[in-house]
């Protein structure tokens, strides 16, 4: 038996960009939490697009370092994509990793394509056999692109799943069913569910943050604050957030008069201007605040009274987990992994609304239904508190970052067998 401990296995982790959102935080927690005596990790990331909120400065302050892939971007650009693929190939040759982990669609496409080129070279040179793990944080198989592009991306994903991927990670049971059964990407025995984990520490004492947030914005006693949290992008459908607020003003005017609506998250200048114009057209300019991207999650989540998610497509929404950690009641569109978070259906409320164990879901794109759900919870604070409490208990028990890290370490251990 050797007197020396085994050398750590090398892991190259690639993400399309470190913009504000769940995938970047997920990657940061894995980089910071994974046992460095067992796994030597290198992170490579593309650059955040103009108009997007950049999580990079916050992560640098936390001590995270990464290799820059300046040509890796979300948009399709043949010249940049080829340059990024070659840069990833050079990283593979330099690092000679045992495991390649890719996060988000473009990183998954180019990273695993580079792996196909690298593998025969590595075999001839006697380098470690490379195992590829791709994580679907969401997917682009609907609500993102035209039907033609969507079919093309789906065909590419099926090819890469078959020929370039050892394991596919999905972040919820519903996403597993979508990826494997609905869209036919990967084999059932190839795809695993690793639920998202979050840093729970900032939400341990929510009352102080709530007082600070509400004092800053001059929120009066008795006012109810409905918030949407996350980057401003078409798939998040914040226009529907505004339409739901306008519908509430007609359905329950007295309740609406006590409400303030806040969008917490940044986006491109054009998207922000369009939302402000829409709020004005709907007569909401005095009721809606656009707060941009904020880093004080320990304050703005507890400062809300209800979280409203209006997305057309989701993986596991980080906002529901972080809001849930504070005990926030949630109304959300029934998309992606949302039903997995909010639990089994407990009652059909009619009109497409479903009361679940830990929140209320509504069909995507239906402002009237979302407004009715808002009225139900804002008008019944006892029910809202019960649902928020159930969600908090669920998040604390199932979605810590320590559990996420241990799940991924176990997956890496399987790669050695």
Q: Are residues 166 and 36 part of one domain?
A: yes
pLDDT (0 to 100) of residue 140: 57
Q: Is residue 123 in some structural domain?
A: yes
- Show Cβ contacts of residue 405 under 8 Å, excluding neighbours closer than 6 positions: 29, 30, 33, 34, 197
Q: Is residue 4 in some structural domain?
A: no
Q: CA dist 316 to 194, 342, 416, Å?
A: 11, 11, 29
- Show Cβ contacts of residue 130 under 8 Å, excluding neighbours closer than 6 positions: 92, 97, 98, 99, 100, 115, 118, 119, 122
Q: How far apart are CA 53 and CA 37, in angstroms?
A: 33
Tell me how many domains the chain contains.
Answer: 2
Minimal CA–CA distance to 106: which of 26, 185, 14, 236? 14
Q: Are residues 170 and 59 part of one domain?
A: yes
Q: Are residues 183 and 40 part of one domain?
A: yes
Q: Is residue 130 in some structural domain?
A: yes
Max Cα distance, the chain (Å): 76
Q: Are residues 230 and 160 part of one domain?
A: no
Q: Are residues 246 and 333 part of one domain?
A: yes
Q: Is residue 20 in some structural domain?
A: yes
pLDDT (0 to 100) of residue 153: 86
**H-only helix segments in 252-365:** 253-256, 269-281, 297-303, 318-325, 338-342
Q: How far apart are CA 84 and CA 141, in angstroms?
A: 23
pLDDT (0 to 100) of residue 145: 59
Q: Are residues 382 and 412 part of one domain?
A: no
Q: Are residues 111 and 70 part of one domain?
A: yes
Q: Are residues 374 and 264 part of one domain?
A: yes
Q: How far apart are CA 76 and CA 279, in angstroms?
A: 32
pLDDT (0 to 100) of residue 302: 98
Q: Is residue 3 in some structural domain?
A: no
Element housing 158 (H / E)? helix 147-163
Q: Is residue 1 in some structural domain?
A: no
Tens place of pLDDT per residue across the chain (417 aa): 455 668 899 999 999 999 888 899 999 999 999 999 999 999 999 999 877 788 999 999 999 999 999 999 888 899 999 999 999 999 999 999 999 999 989 999 999 999 999 999 999 999 999 999 999 987 656 555 567 777 888 999 999 999 999 999 998 888 899 899 999 999 999 999 999 999 999 999 999 999 999 999 999 999 999 999 998 989 899 999 999 999 999 999 999 999 999 999 988 899 999 999 999 999 999 999 999 999 899 999 999 999 999 999 887 899 999 999 999 999 999 998 899 999 999 999 999 999 999 999 999 999 999 999 999 999 999 999 999 999 999 999 999 999 999 999 999 999 986
Q: Is residue 340 in some structural domain?
A: yes
Q: Are residues 364 and 318 part of one domain?
A: yes
For the chain, helix (H) and strand (E) counts, in that order, are 16, 15
Q: Are residues 76 and 144 part of one domain?
A: yes
Q: Are residues 22 and 70 part of one domain?
A: yes
Q: Are residues 193 and 299 part of one domain?
A: no
Fill in the DSSP letter of residue 292: E
Q: Is residue 171 in some structural domain?
A: yes
End-to-end CA separation in angstroms for the chain = 19
Q: Is 167 in a helix, a strand, or coil?
A: strand
In which domain, by residue range, is 342 found?
201-398
Q: Is 290 in a helix, a strand, or coil?
A: strand
Question: For position 136, which CATH number holds?
Answer: 3.40.50.2000
């Amino acid at each position: 038996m050797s007197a020396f401990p085994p050398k750590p296995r090398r892991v190259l982790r690639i993400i399309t960009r470190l913009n504000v959102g769940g995938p970047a935080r997920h990657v940061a927690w894995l980089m910071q939490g994974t046992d460095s005596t067992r796994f030597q990790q290198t992170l490579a990331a593309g650059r955040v697009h103009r108009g997007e909120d950049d999580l990079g400065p916050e992560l640098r302050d936390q001590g995270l370092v990464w290799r820059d892939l300046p040509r890796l971007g979300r948009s399709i650009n043949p010249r940049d994509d080829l340059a990024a693929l070659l840069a990833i190939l050079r990283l593979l040759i330099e690092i000679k990793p045992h495991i390649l982990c890719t996060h988000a669609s473009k990183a998954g496409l180019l990273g695993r394509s580079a792996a196909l080129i690298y593998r025969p070279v590595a075999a001839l040179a006697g380098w470690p056999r490379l195992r590829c793990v791709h994580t679907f944080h969401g997917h682009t198989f609907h609500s993102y692109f035209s039907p033609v592009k969507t079919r093309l991306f789906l065909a590419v994903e099926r090819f890469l799943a078959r020929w370039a991927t050892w394991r596919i990670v999905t972040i919820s049971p519903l996403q597993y069913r979508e990826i494997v059964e609905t869209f036919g990407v990967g084999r059932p025995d190839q795809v695993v569910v690793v639920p998202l984990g979050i840093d729970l520490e900032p939400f341990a004492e929510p009352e102080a943050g709530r007082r600070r947030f509400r004092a800053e914005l001059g929120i009066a006693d008795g006012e109810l604050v409905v918030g949407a949290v996350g980057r401003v992008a078409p798939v998040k459908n914040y226009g529907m957030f505004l339409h739901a607020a306008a519908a509430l003003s007609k359905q329950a005017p007295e309740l609406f008069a006590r409400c303030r609506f806040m969008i917490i998250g940044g986006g491109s200048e054009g998207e922000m201007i369009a939302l402000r114009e829409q709020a004005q057209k709907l007569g909401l300019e005095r009721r809606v605040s656009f707060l941009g991207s904020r880093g004080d999650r320990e304050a703005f989540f507890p400062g809300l009274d209800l979280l409203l998610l209006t997305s057309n497509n989701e993986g596991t929404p980080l906002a529901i987990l972080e809001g849930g950690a504070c005990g926030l009641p949630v109304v959300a569109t029934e998309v992606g992994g949302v039903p997995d978070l909010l639990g089994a259906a407990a009652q059909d409320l009619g009109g497409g609304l479903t009361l679940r164990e830990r929140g209320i879901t509504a069909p995507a794109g239906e402002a009237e239904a979302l407004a009715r759900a808002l009225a139900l919870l804002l008008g019944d604070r006892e029910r809202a508190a019960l649902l928020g409490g159930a969600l908090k208990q669920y998040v604390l028990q199932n979605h810590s970052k320590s559990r996420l890290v241990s799940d991924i370490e176990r997956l890496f251990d399987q790669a050695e067998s």
